[in-house]
Amino acid sequence: MHSEVNSLEQARCIYIVTQYMLGQGWQLVDSCELAERIWRDVTGQNLSGREAVEYVQNQVWQRYAAILHDGCCQSENELHNQAWGELSCWLTKQVRYLTPAPHEPDVLIQETLSNLHHRLSQSPIKARRAFFAYALQIMRRKNIDLHRRRTAVKRGGDDELYLEELEAEYPEGERRHWEEKTITRGGEPRAMEKAVITAEIRQQIRAFFHAHLLTTLQRQVAEAHFLDGLSPVEIARLMGKRPHEIRMLKARVVKRLRSLPPDARQSLLDILGAIDDTDSEAVDV
């Protein structure tokens, strides 16, 4: 009887994983294979009901993020092009949630992919399961950068002043002081590198959340909010949930953290202070 129950629950796990992957259009790994890996963890968590479903769904997007990351990194892999194609499709789905609304979504996606390709060609990121959050952060920053550039270089009406026009208008050596700053702001990969939160800080805050938050889902929401700077809407999109669910979880997390003893709260403030020192909006690589 016990084995029959286990078989039924395992079949349910496979169903959840398969439906989730079909909904996202993810095909880099067989859904049954991924479900088998997740099932081994679920059986050790002693979960049931809605909590078990949420755990499985969260495991899918985290583990698939790592699979997608590896596929994008390994140029010799036969699935390399497919991985970049899936990443492009996923980013395209996120565009409509960006603020401000992108003026040229296709340009934004291509520049984001170019930025990611350059970054991954240097080395893999350390937090592979946070790859979706990392890609989303880069697209958010690139969108803001493009918006600022477009606003800053306007010279009246809706006409934009491009780099080629600047070089044609001004003789060599006579370019105005603001031009280079405006055109290149945020464009250098090194600028992104300087904004990266160190792996040590992430490990510290993860350990803190693991020790003081009650559920895996609370820890994941806390990491996405405090480390990746994502809004409840963005977290909901990443986790396949509704925004109000994430807002409620975030409220519970904040309430829990505020109720901690003074020494624990001070420890958290010290860690968050270290994040501020290294640019609190960055993401881990």
- Confirm if 136 and 98 have CB atoms less than 8 A apart: no
In a domain, 283, yes or no: no
Report the C-alpha gap between 160 and 150 in whole angstroms: 7
In a domain, 115, yes or no: yes
Tell me the C-alpha to C-alpha distance, in Å, between residue 128 and each of 26, 71, 178: 17, 11, 38
Does 268 lie in the same domain as 203?
yes
Q: Identify the domain boundary among 163, 194, 225.
A: 194
- b/e per residue, 226-250, with b = 16+ CB within 10 A? bbbbbbbebbbbbbebeeebbbebb
Range 16-43 average pLDDT = 92
Q: Is the pLDDT of residue 16 over 50?
A: yes
Q: For residue 8, what pLDDT is reported? A: 64
Predicted confidence band of residue 25 (pLDDT cuts 50, 70, 90): very high
In a domain, 282, yes or no: no
Q: For residue 177, what pLDDT is reported? A: 35
In a domain, 131, yes or no: yes
- For residue 110, which amino acid is it? Q
Predicted confidence band of residue 100 (pLDDT cuts 50, 70, 90): confident
In a domain, 232, yes or no: yes
Q: By C-alpha distance, which of 190, 194, 181, 245 is closest to 217?
A: 245
Q: For residue 105, what pLDDT is reported? A: 93
pLDDT, tens only, 231-280: 888 888 888 788 999 999 999 999 999 898 888 888 887 777 665 554 43
Range 108-116 average pLDDT = 95
Where are the strands (E) in 178-274, listed by range? none
In a domain, 284, yes or no: no
Report the C-alpha gap between 192 and 142 in whole angstroms: 11
Domains identified in the chain, total number: 3
Q: For residue 240, what pLDDT is reported? A: 79
Report the C-alpha gap between 117 and 121 in whole angstroms: 6
In a domain, 266, yes or no: yes
Tell me the C-alpha to C-alpha distance, in Å, between residue 101 and each of 30, 47, 104, 109, 231: 35, 40, 9, 13, 16
Does 152 lie in the same domain as 234?
no
- Confirm if 38 and 13 have CB atoms less than 8 A apart: yes
Predicted confidence band of residue 162 (pLDDT cuts 50, 70, 90): very low
- Across the chain, mean pLDDT equals 77
Q: Identify the domain boundary among 194, 213, 242.
A: 194
Predicted confidence band of residue 152 (pLDDT cuts 50, 70, 90): low
Q: Which domain holds residue 167?
A: 84-194
In a domain, 209, yes or no: yes
Give the other-Cβ count within 10 Å of 28's Cβ: 17
Does 89 lie in the same domain as 13?
no
Report the C-alpha gap between 120 and 97 in whole angstroms: 25
Q: For residue 145, what pLDDT is reported? A: 85
Does 255 lie in the same domain as 235?
yes
Does 104 lie in the same domain as 66?
no
Burial class from Cβ neighbours inside 10 Å (0-12, 13-18, 19+) for residue 78 reads: exposed
Q: For residue 150, what pLDDT is reported? A: 77
Q: Is the pLDDT of residue 175 over 70?
A: no
pLDDT, tens only, 185-236: 344 343 333 334 456 667 778 888 988 998 888 988 988 888 777 888 888 8
- Confirm if 150 and 160 have CB atoms less than 8 A apart: yes
Q: Is the pLDDT of residue 28 over 70?
A: yes
Query: Which SS3 state, helix, strand or coil, does residue 153 take?
Result: coil
Residues 6+ apart with CB under 8 A from 75: none
Percent of the chain with pLDDT over 70: 74
Beta bridge mates, 154: 160
pLDDT, tens only, 65-87: 999 999 999 988 889 999 999 99
Does 215 lie in the same domain as 154?
no
Q: Identify the domain boundary among 76, 102, 134.
A: 76
Does 88 lie in the same domain as 189?
yes
Predicted confidence band of residue 14 (pLDDT cuts 50, 70, 90): very high
Does 257 lie in the same domain as 180?
no
